[in-house]
Amino acid sequence: MPEVEILKKYWGYDSFRPLQQDIIRSVLDGEDALALMPTGGGKSICFQVPAMVMEGICLVISPLVALMKDQVEHLRNKGIAAEAIFAGMGKREIDIILDNCIFGNIKFLYLSPERLQSDLVRTRITYMNVNLLAIDEAHCISQWGYDFRPPYLKIAELRDLIPNVPVLALTATATEFVREDILEKLKIKHANVFVKSFARKNLSYVVYNLDDKFKKLLQIIDKVKGCGLIYVRNRRETAEVAAYLLRNSISADFYHAGLPTELRFKKQQLWMENKISVMVATNAFGMGIDKPDVRFVVHLDLPESLEAYYQEAGRAGRDGHKSYAVLLTNKTDQVNLKNRALEQIVEPAEIKKIYHSLGNFYQLAYGAGHGLSFDFDLIKFSKTFNYKPLKVINSLKYLSQFGYLELSENIFIPSRVMFMADHETVYKFQIEHKSYDNFIKILLRSYGGIFDHFTKINEAELANRLKVSYNEVINTLKYLESQELIQYLQQTDVPQLTFMVGRTQLSHMDIDVKFIKQRQEIHEKQIDSVIEYASKDVCRSILLLKYFNEITADKCGICDVCIAEKKRLKVNSYMEMLDYELITLLQSGRKNYEEIVEGIKDISEEKIINRLKDLLEAGKIKTDGIWYYLN
- pLDDT on residue 452: 80
- pLDDT on residue 409: 63
Q: How far apart are CA 510 and CA 512, in angstroms?
A: 7
Element (H, E) at 536: none
**Residue of higher predicted confidence among 356 and 158:** 356
**Dmax over Cα atoms in the chain, in whole Å?**
118
Dihedral, 424, 430, 433, 437 alpha carbons, nearest 10: 160
Confidence class for position 518, pLDDT limits 50, 70, 90: confident
Residue 135: strand, helix, or coil: strand
| 8 Å CB contact between 133 and 167 | yes
- pLDDT on residue 42: 81
- pLDDT on residue 540: 94
**What mean pLDDT comes out for the span 499-509?**
91
**What mean pLDDT comes out for the span 581-602?**
77
Q: Per CATH, which fold does 339-411+494-511 belong to?
A: Arc Repressor Mutant, subunit A (1.10.10)
**What mean pLDDT comes out for the span 390-417?**
81
Confidence class for position 135, pLDDT limits 50, 70, 90: very high
| 8 Å CB contact between 108 and 76 | no
Q: Per CATH, which fold does 560-629 belong to?
A: Arc Repressor Mutant, subunit A (1.10.10)
Confidence class for position 52, pLDDT limits 50, 70, 90: very high
Asked if residue 287 has pLDDT above 70, the reply is no
Write the DSSP string, 329-398. Answer: E-HHHHHHHHHHHHHH---HHHHHHHHHHHHHHTTPPTT--TT-EEE--HHHHHHHHT--HHHHHHHHHH
- pLDDT on residue 157: 84
Minimum mean pLDDT among 83-92, 235-244, 251-260, 363-372: which range? 83-92
- pLDDT on residue 106: 93
| 8 Å CB contact between 307 and 139 | yes
- pLDDT on residue 591: 77
Confidence class for position 81, pLDDT limits 50, 70, 90: very high
Minimum mean pLDDT among 75-79, 281-285, 492-496: which range? 492-496
Q: Per CATH, which fold does 203-329 belong to?
A: Rossmann fold (3.40.50)
Minimum mean pLDDT among 354-363, 522-531, 622-631: which range? 622-631
> Structurally, what CATH architecture does the domain formed by 2-195 represent?
3-Layer(aba) Sandwich (3.40)
Measuring CA to CA, how many Å separate 553 from each of 189, 208, 318, 542, 557? 29, 23, 21, 6, 12
| 8 Å CB contact between 302 and 209 | no
What digits encode the pLDDT tens for the residues 295-326? 999 999 999 889 889 888 988 998 889 999 99
- pLDDT on residue 411: 57
Whole-number mean pLDDT of the chain? 86
Asked if residue 288 has pLDDT above 70, the reply is no
pTM, rounded to two decimals: 0.70
Please count the residues of the chain.
Answer: 631
**What mean pLDDT comes out for the span 442-470?**
87
Q: What is the 3-state secondary structure (H, E, C) of 287-309?
A: CCCCCCCEEEEEECCCCCCHHHH
- pLDDT on residue 487: 87
Domain regions of the chain by residue span = 2-195, 203-329, 339-411+494-511, 416-489, 560-629
Confidence class for position 286, pLDDT limits 50, 70, 90: low
Q: Residue type for 572, please? A: N
CA angle 258, 263, 267 (to 5 degrees): 105
**What mean pLDDT comes out for the span 234-260?**
89
- pLDDT on residue 258: 75
For residue 272, list its beta bridge partners. none
Q: How far apart are CA 523 and CA 146, in angstroms?
A: 8
Neighbour count for residue 335 (Cβ, 10 Å): 11
Q: How far apart are CA 518 and CA 521, in angstroms?
A: 5
Residue 283 buriedness (CB in 10 A; 0-12 / 13-18 / 19+): middle
Asked if residue 360 has pLDDT above 90, the reply is yes
Residue 332 buriedness (CB in 10 A; 0-12 / 13-18 / 19+): exposed
Percent above pLDDT 70 for the chain? 95
**What mean pLDDT comes out for the span 268-293?**
83
2-195 against 203-329: fold identical? yes
Q: How far apart are CA 117 and CA 373, in angstroms?
A: 14
Asked if residue 481 has pLDDT above 80, the reply is yes
Asked if residue 263 has pLDDT above 90, the reply is no
**What mean pLDDT comes out for the span 144-163?**
78
For residue 58, list its beta bridge partners. 108, 132
Measure CA of the first residue to CA of the last residue in the chain; give whole Å.
76
Q: Residue type for 79, please? A: G
**What mean pLDDT comes out for the span 573-602?**
76
**What mean pLDDT comes out for the span 452-466?**
86
| 8 Å CB contact between 604 and 574 | no
The CA radius of gyration of the chain, in Å to the nearest whole number, is 31
**Residue of higher predicted confidence among 66 and 253:** 253
Confidence class for position 502, pLDDT limits 50, 70, 90: very high
